[in-house]
Amino acid sequence: MNTPKQIQDSTIELLNSYNSKFQYAVTFTFKSKAFIENKDFKRIETNDITSRMRKKFPQYKWGDEPEKVGHTAYLSDDIANATMDYFYARLTHRTWGKDAWRPSTRDYSKPLLITTAEGSANANRLIRTHRHGIIGNLPDHIRCIDPITLAWNDTDFGGRIVVKKIYDINGWLEYITKEIHTGNDATLQVDRIRKPNTFR
């Protein structure tokens, strides 16, 4: 039976197979709750309509400004995963654009995203839900972190984000897999590694 240290070393070896494409070390922090606006009812013009909508959709929070209609949602592990999926879609759009969907270029025109999870939104833990990650395979013309931060800000539950260039690959890989060393081998979301189709 493998020890946690052996599992961590194997994980680092697996992730190192993509190290030629690594560019940025990222830490994503989630909001614990978010106001989800219902865009279908954004243009409400009269108090009469507001009253009818209030009765028809009591689950929504109706504030003083009738154009802001929606409800408060709370973070869960499923929502955190869905937030990362949406972030990846926005990052792909902001960096590769239409090349990500053209048949002639889509197999290699997508970012690389590897994340590890720390803190569970479903459990009553003192650790705030966050993800450590690596982003790579961005186009040559992307030379700043703006597309990454903007894509994270596009999400409803996106909180604070820290993005830095990777200078010590092995050091960062060891840090993001530290939970594995303590016995929590579920921290690495192997099934959620996002990469271009040309990566094996």
| pLDDT tens, position by position, 6-15 | 888 888 888 8
Q: How far is CA 112 from CA 153, 176, 181, in A?
A: 19, 16, 24
Q: Which of 189, 130, 162 is nearest to 25 (CA)?
A: 162
In the chain, where the domains are located: 4-32+75-192, 34-72
Structure tokens at 66: 């009738």
* Integer Cα distance of 200 and 193 in angstroms: 12
pTM > 0.85: yes or no = no
What does DSSP say about strands 158-165 and 22-30: parallel, antiparallel, or unpaired? antiparallel
The percent of residues above 90 in pLDDT, for the chain, comes to 31
Q: At 20, is the pLDDT very low, low, confident or very high (cuts 50, 70, 90)? A: confident
| pLDDT tens, position by position, 84-103 | 999 999 999 999 988 888 88
* Integer Cα distance of 86 and 174 in angstroms: 27
What class has domain 4-32+75-192? alpha beta
